[in-house]
Amino acid sequence: MNEVMQFSAGHEDLIHDVAYDFYGKRLVTCSSDQKLKVWDMDEEKGTWVPNDSWKGHDSSILKVTWAHPEYGQVFASCSFDRTVRVWEEQDQGSYENSAETRAGVVLEAKNGGRRWAEKARLADSKGPVQDLEFAPTHLGLKLATTAADGILRIYEAMDVVQLGQWTLMDEIEIFSGGQPPPDASTTTTSGVVITSHYCLSWCPSRFQPQMLLVGCGKENVAKIFRQDTHGKWHPSEQISFHTDLVTDVAWAPNMGRAYQLLATACKDGRVRIFKLGGASSGATGPGLSASSAPWQTVGANQKKSGPAKFQVEMIADFSDHGTEVWRVDWNVTGTILSSSGDDGKVRLWKSSYMDEWRCMSIISAEQGGGGDHGEAAMLR
Amino acid sequence: MKKAAVLTSVPAGSNGPTAGRDLPPSALLAQPVQHHVSPLRLRLTGQLTSVAASADMDWAVVAGREVLKIVAIYSDDVKEVLNLRAGAKMSTNFAIQDVKWGNSFAKSTVATAASNGAVVIWDLNRPNVHKLERILTEHTRAVNRISFHPTEPVLLLSASQDGSMRLWDLRAKSIARNAFEGRAESVRDVQFSPTNPYEFVAAFENGSIQKWDIRFPTQHERKWNAHNGLALTVDWHPDGRLAASGGRDRLIKVWDMKSESRLPLYTISTIAPVARVSWRPGSDTQLASCALATDYAIHLWDLARPYIANQSLEAHDGVTTGLLWRDPNIIWSCSKDRSFARHDIRAHAYRPLSCLNTSAAAWNVDGELTFAIDERPILSSAITATTSTSLPGATALANGPNTTGSDGVDTTTSSDESRLGLPPPIPATALTQGVAAAAVAAATSSYYPLRRALRKPPEKVVGDEKIAQYKPRQRTGIADTDTFDVHAFIAFATDLQLDHTDIWTSCDINAQLALDLGLLRTAQTWKIIQLLYGGRNPGAPEPSNLSALFRGAPDKHPNHHPSSSSLSSHQQSPGQVTPSAARALEALFAPLESTQSQAYDGNALDVPATGLSVRSDTIIGTNGFLEPQNRRLTVGSSHSDSALLKDIQESADPVLNKSDNWVDTYATVHRTDKFNSASQTPAHNGPFQVTDRPLDLDNNNDIEKTGPASARPLSGHHRQTQVQSQRPHHDHGQNSGRYSDEHEEDEEDGYSDTPDVSSSDSESSFTYGLKVGAGRRTLARFGIGTRPPVSDKGSHASKHTTNTIGRSFSRNRRRSQFSASALPSNNNSSDNINHASVPPRDVVLAPWNHEPVVRDTLSYYAEQGNVQMCVSIILVLGDLIRVDEKMEELWFWSYIDLLHRFKLWSPATAVIRAARIPSVRARNQESTTIHTICNHCSKPMLTSTPGAPNWACEHCGRLVNPCSLCHKTTKGLYVWCQGCTHGGHLACLTDWFSNDLECCTGCGHQCLSRQFSMAVDVGG
């Protein structure tokens, strides 16, 4: 950990998500103050300068996600107000007759909502939309959302140029119990209301069939959802081990590993990493299987002998945070996992020798700086 | 009589909070059921629109389209008491919009407002079933809201869709005392001030709210343009100063009714049109709201944190239409779901905040991590403890491992204060005090009289000072995790030589590039690839050609390689030396031949000093190689090739420097192997990550202190210390000593014995030494064994400074293996250097196939996420390496994706073009269409064969882009004058303009200025 740069987004309430664009030179932050803020990297100065800031939703904005730049400068946000909104940057001419932002000060009223136009509003959910993510680009312009109503929705843009029309391709009930999912909350016998939480993450791999990792609310599990041959989504592998709500899931980018990695954050205070192996033929081992079966063949196998399931193996289970863990995120190469929780710390995890995952460093909130505990951990 | 019974039953509810306050918080949580009012629900026959409480809060009247009933609310039950509609003959369009119960001075009076414009007064004291007392029908359209005067029981105010408000004196006969014309469209809400007997406030459909004085019925006193669209509701704060309004614009705004300001004090944004707002009793900052549509929940808002509802209550399955506070914690509500409900917000509401993540993080390609983190340990532990009974460790988890369960409960419950009250830290005290005060007030009287009678306003007037707004304590920052070397990635992406026709050169360039960037491991990898595959004669490195290769290397310098020829002959003896072993030797030879062939020349013995000094240099080179900041890196670079080369040759050093001393090397390796097995035990508790670096550090220091001149004795000395510092090596050292002795003898014997001794064992050990990539664990142990334990810490520090990760990879290990074996053998060789070299003849070498090692290397880099390396190696090696096609494709796609992320379009295109996987190559053929038109007739140029352009237009039959000078079609570069548009072949025009300034077509345009023509001359 070399340095921590202060980055003051100036939100008036909790920031719930930040997202880099594909190139890493643009940042969008969203907050409970209902504002979305876009930041651009000033490459000369090496600082983040505000691009625009506007009220994006009527309630807490929970997540933001960028679309691949081949679809333009587009991102989507989801909120407690039960909507998903898709935003696109406008040509300069259409807004730039007002005073520009100067000297690093956001003139929110001036630019507000004009630089970024709301292209679509998806209001199918009956509860707060808790997570969303654009599909990996090889699947087209698709957007998956989960909401407190317990439904996983997959949208697809009909016209990638206009972005105004999003078709709800699939509505999948995450809850497998059979009874209707609770609307945002359930009253337990003791009279305490627990609010459920659903989260999702696309499988980013180009060579796997479409898959989604979904945190399944009060079932206290994460599940992998796959499409069957008829295009219907079904829960497949169930990832247990959790003793409370799964608060976040992250499917690691795979840049050339023979296996897939998943990470979950859990309200029970733990970060867990899972390894998926033996997808197609049950062949295990880290080696690159010589029989190079392209994924189409995998699909063929599925037709014959049902969906070939991954072997899920928990390879790490960390309780370091001690309190609710809220987020897990993989770096771009899928080699380092970051987790953050209510303890006010970000921890970085990295696989050391022989797939042993260890804490690499800890970023704590108090100092705003980095403390490198990783080495001590390694020495032990 | 009945009322008395009710009165006795109710205090259980109102005492609840008081009891809770008096008890320690832990008790509150330990027995929650005791102190919370259980939720009550009563299903009715129709949709409800409004609910009102009797003055003493025992009874409620609920009203709807078909319903007008009085219900009695007990501590644990709710019962229908009276159906007011029973005797009244009212038409169905007489739907009730609002209902109000008279205050304590008119306990028996109930008023309803109907959609047909009638205001109906009911008298509960009437003895018969017909409770209807009178109907006031002055409004021409629906009456939306009515309000009893807080002190004058006979005064009733009504607000109607017809745009007027009327004040009724119930003593008078059906004639309004006053009519107030808002002149602002329909009136949606009206309410008397709780403190000023003359004031009332009204909300209008044009979005305004108005304050009126009943003594001046002609004109409103003040007006605020409060909402965009309809203003639907307004509620005075009990202090008579603040009022909250809600509108269809989904906003709740709080106004200072006494201020001149036209701006709201606070604005709360909700997710749905606001149907009703109601201040929480006893609180200056909290109010409840329900929505007109969409959102069925009741939200409790706090002005200090206007963006997130403090608590939410999912009370109904339909739109909540009416709500009122029974006391600071208990809400009565009615809904379109046909039910009346009573909830205790302490028990039945949830905190939206607890569902919101307090932290966020995101990675970008540069390895930067943007994060926002907050601390919420206490609150979260409370939630964990109360909600997750399935998690026994929850409290302990929150409070640390040493806290006991009971302690955990205490901790969690102490936070209940903050849960109940407000987000810590700022407003919590003020607010909870407020709530507590209210609770005390509720305890002293059996009902909560706030709304019923004029009260002395609280001493603290909120409007004077703004409520301290919540400020997120969240920290945001961008951490450069230094996990991705952007600079190197871009440099590699743009400058790597990926040409596979000359692997030697490509690898050389790449290694040098890596070296320049300080990426020693990468450089090393390239070097080894170069050695394994490069060969000086391209095309040779097929496994079958290894022997040829082996011979081939010396062929380059036939004069300098007498020893190699002997090796060749040695190799030719069947079964003695296998091709792969020879190959490995060749690999070791290769660098040497380019740098210091004379050192291992047959004449090496003639220049022993040179050979030695060179060797010590190369050792230094190795050390420098591992430590980027090492100045020693340059020491050896005075030689013809880079220091890097020497590094590798260093690993070959024992072999190379004394090519005659093979046996020695093998014996050493073998010994190392033995000692390796001895060092298994320490390897178990030691981290594997630390490889040979400490060793090198030692080397470094030692050698740096003394100059190269003293290299020889020093290296010996160094060896000694090394040996002493290491238990395993101790053994080893003895061994080597013994062996050196043997050597001296052997030397005379022509090595007849030693090869035999070693050959049986060294067969495996040498193979082992080279195939390090295959068995990592063993190797790591090996590494451990060779490293002095003392320097562990130092190595740790240094390990982390380099961008290479602690975990060593096969290549690295392999080299370490070499150096491990090299060091003792150097010792030997330095001892033996003066002895006559006798080529080993009987060495038996195991076959070694290096391809798996390379594949391992690729896997290693893939595991590290370094697809750049994978792809580059594959591209350079071309058909020489076969990897799983699926995997290769994944690497290519990943690499291309990464290149795109850095906007390195050209390298990405180059990689796509160079890829051998069709699906990757196809990417360059996607989505790019070039339409061409004839430059004469502007018709599209259609070609029958794609990619083959037409040189003449099919439509006008003219040549496309003919040269103005030679009149032939211009292919390739076409230059033209922007002034006259004539142009053609670059060569033609250069030729023309070398003599002329005017256009060659004779158009008269002077294409060139004189100045420029000179430039052309110079250029030509």
pLDDT digits (tens, 9 = 90+) for A161-195: 888 889 999 898 887 654 444 443 444 333 334 56
Q: For residue A248, which residues of chain B lie inside 8 Å, CB to CB?
A: 357
Residue that is written with structure tokens 């060091």 in the block: B823
Q: Which residue has the higher pLDDT, A84 or B977?
A: A84
Q: Could you tell me if B890 lies within 8 Å of chain A, comparing CB atoms?
A: yes
- Residue A202 in any domain: the answer is no
ipTM summary value: 0.85
Structure tokens at B604: 């090496």
Interface test with A, best of B296, B299, B356, B810 (most A CBs within 10 A): B356
Facing residues of B291 across strands?
Answer: B274
Q: For residue B250, which residues of chain A lie inside 8 Å, CB to CB?
A: 58
Enter the DSSP assignment of B603: G
Q: Could you tell me if A361 lies within 8 Å of chain B, comparing CB atoms?
A: yes
Closest CA to B450 of B244, B279, B196: B279
Dmax (CA) of chain A: 64
Spatial distance between the Cα atoms of B975 and B981, rounded to a whole number of angstroms: 9
- Residue B286 in any domain: the answer is no
* pLDDT for the residue A200: 92
Residue that is written with structure tokens 């304050």 in the block: B211
Structure tokens at A242: 């959790």
Spatial distance between the Cα atoms of A2 and B198, rounded to a whole number of angstroms: 68
CATH code of the domain covering residue A135? 2.130.10.10
Q: What's the gap between Cα B935 and its chain centre? A: 53
Q: Could you tell me if A198 lies within 8 Å of chain B, comparing CB atoms?
A: no
Spatial distance between the Cα atoms of B175 and A149, rounded to a whole number of angstroms: 52
Provide the number of structural domains found in chain A. 1
Return the residue of B nearest to A375 by Cα.
B796
Spatial distance between the Cα atoms of B507 and B488, rounded to a whole number of angstroms: 16
| A195 vs B355, B371, B688: nearest CB | B355
Spatial distance between the Cα atoms of B672 and B57, rounded to a whole number of angstroms: 92
In angstroms, what CA-CA distances link B781 with B699, B726, B798?
A: 21, 14, 20
- Residue B981 in any domain: the answer is yes
Segments forming the whole domain that contains residue B570: 555-853
User: B372 and A350: CB-CB below 8 Å?
Assistant: no
User: A18 and B884: CB-CB below 8 Å?
Assistant: no
- Residue A18 in any domain: the answer is yes
Spatial distance between the Cα atoms of B410 and B378, rounded to a whole number of angstroms: 11
DSSP string, B771-805: GGGT-HHHHHHHHHHHS-GGGHHHHHHHHHHSSS-
Find out whether B296 and B319 touch, Cβ atoms under 8 Å: yes
Spatial distance between the Cα atoms of B364 and B368, rounded to a whole number of angstroms: 6
- Residue B711 in any domain: the answer is yes
| Percent helix / strand / coil, chain A, rounded to 5 | 10, 45, 45
Q: Could you tell me if B475 lies within 8 Å of chain A, comparing CB atoms?
A: yes
- Residue A169 in any domain: the answer is yes
- Residue A364 in any domain: the answer is no
**pLDDT (tens digit, 9 = 90+) per residue, B922-941?**
877 766 666 777 777 777 77
- H or E element, residue B984: strand B983-985
Segments forming the whole domain that contains residue A107: 11-196
B846 and B982 inside one domain: no
User: A192 and B374: CB-CB below 8 Å?
Assistant: no
User: A13 and B478: CB-CB below 8 Å?
Assistant: no
Q: Which residue has the higher pLDDT, A246 or B834?
A: A246
Q: Could you tell me if A270 lies within 8 Å of chain B, comparing CB atoms?
A: no
Provide the number of structural domains found in chain B. 2
Interface test with A, best of B303, B357, B383, B416 (most A CBs within 10 A): B357
Q: For residue A283, which residues of chain B lie inside 8 Å, CB to CB?
A: none
State the nearest Cα–Cα gap between A302 and chain B, in angstroms.
19
User: A344 and B806: CB-CB below 8 Å?
Assistant: no
- Residue A335 in any domain: the answer is no
Q: What's the gap between Cα B26 and its chain centre? A: 38
DSSP-derived 3-state class of residue B363: strand
Task: Among B800, B824, B853, give the residue marking a domain's end.
Answer: B853
Window 370-399 of B: residues touching A by CB (8 A cutoff) are 370-377, 380-381, 383-384, 386-388, 390-391, 394, 397-398
- Residue A112 in any domain: the answer is yes
Closest CA to B479 of A2, A87, A278, A376: A2
- Residue B156 in any domain: the answer is no
Find out whether B427 and B468 touch, Cβ atoms under 8 Å: yes
B848 and B978 inside one domain: no
State the nearest Cα–Cα gap between A269 and chain B, in angstroms.
8
Q: How confident is the model at residue A201 (pLDDT cuts 50, 70, 90)?
A: very high
B979 and B834 inside one domain: no
Q: Could you tell me if A80 lies within 8 Å of chain B, comparing CB atoms?
A: yes
Return the residue of B nearest to A1 by Cα.
B481
DSSP-derived 3-state class of residue A68: coil
Q: Could you tell me if B951 lies within 8 Å of chain A, comparing CB atoms?
A: no
Task: Among B853, B868, B898, give the residue marking a domain's end.
Answer: B853
In angstroms, what CA-CA distances link A246 with A174, A359, B635?
A: 13, 21, 57
Q: Could you tell me if B470 lies within 8 Å of chain A, comparing CB atoms?
A: yes
Window 819-858 of B: residues touching A by CB (8 A cutoff) are 855
Window 741-780 of B: residues touching A by CB (8 A cutoff) are 776-777, 780
State the nearest Cα–Cα gap between A155 and chain B, in angstroms.
22
- Residue A83 in any domain: the answer is yes
In angstroms, what CA-CA distances link B107 with B59, B110, B324?
A: 11, 8, 18
- Residue A343 in any domain: the answer is no
Q: Along chain B (1020 residues), what's the average pLDDT of each consecutive run of 10 residues?
A: 36 36 37 61 89 88 88 87 74 78 84 89 82 85 91 89 90 82 89 91 93 90 91 92 92 90 89 92 90 89 88 88 90 91 86 84 88 65 35 34 34 36 37 42 36 40 62 82 84 84 85 88 87 61 44 42 39 40 46 39 36 35 37 35 44 41 39 39 36 37 38 40 40 42 42 38 38 38 38 40 38 42 40 45 62 85 85 86 84 89 88 85 71 75 60 75 82 81 85 83 80 54
Spatial distance between the Cα atoms of B240 and B455, rounded to a whole number of angstroms: 10
User: A190 and B32: CB-CB below 8 Å?
Assistant: yes
Window 313-342 of A: residues touching B by CB (8 A cutoff) are 319, 322-324, 326-327, 329-336, 338, 340-342
Window 109-148 of A: residues touching B by CB (8 A cutoff) are 128
* pLDDT for the residue A7: 82
User: A257 and B863: CB-CB below 8 Å?
Assistant: yes
Structure tokens at B406: 């009971």
Question: Which amino acid, residue B864?
Answer: Q
Spatial distance between the Cα atoms of B298 and A129, rounded to a whole number of angstroms: 19
Instruction: Measure CA of the first residue to CA of the last residue in chain A; give whole Å.
Output: 20
In angstroms, what CA-CA distances link B823 with B62, B240, B666, B787, B978?
A: 95, 91, 13, 12, 71
Window 145-174 of A: residues touching B by CB (8 A cutoff) are none
Task: Among B799, B832, B853, give the residue marking a domain's end.
Answer: B853
User: B365 and A24: CB-CB below 8 Å?
Assistant: yes
Q: For residue A363, which residues of chain B lie inside 8 Å, CB to CB?
A: 369, 371, 373, 477, 479
* pLDDT for the residue A112: 53
User: B271 and A59: CB-CB below 8 Å?
Assistant: yes
- Residue B495 in any domain: the answer is no
Q: Could you tell me if B360 lies within 8 Å of chain A, comparing CB atoms?
A: yes
Interface test with A, best of B250, B302, B305, B307 (most A CBs within 10 A): B307
Give counts: helices (H), strands (E), chain B. Answer: 36, 33
- Residue B820 in any domain: the answer is yes
Q: For residue B358, which residues of chain A lie inside 8 Å, CB to CB?
A: 14, 326, 342
Window 297-326 of B: residues touching A by CB (8 A cutoff) are 297, 305, 307-308, 312, 314
Evaluate if residue A121 carries a pLDDT over 60. yes
Q: Could you tell me if B933 lies within 8 Å of chain A, comparing CB atoms?
A: no
**pLDDT (tens digit, 9 = 90+) per residue, A365-374?**
554 333 333 3
| A255 vs B370, B384, B894: nearest CB | B894
Q: For residue B312, which residues of chain A lie inside 8 Å, CB to CB?
A: 185
Q: Could you tell me if A375 lies within 8 Å of chain B, comparing CB atoms?
A: yes
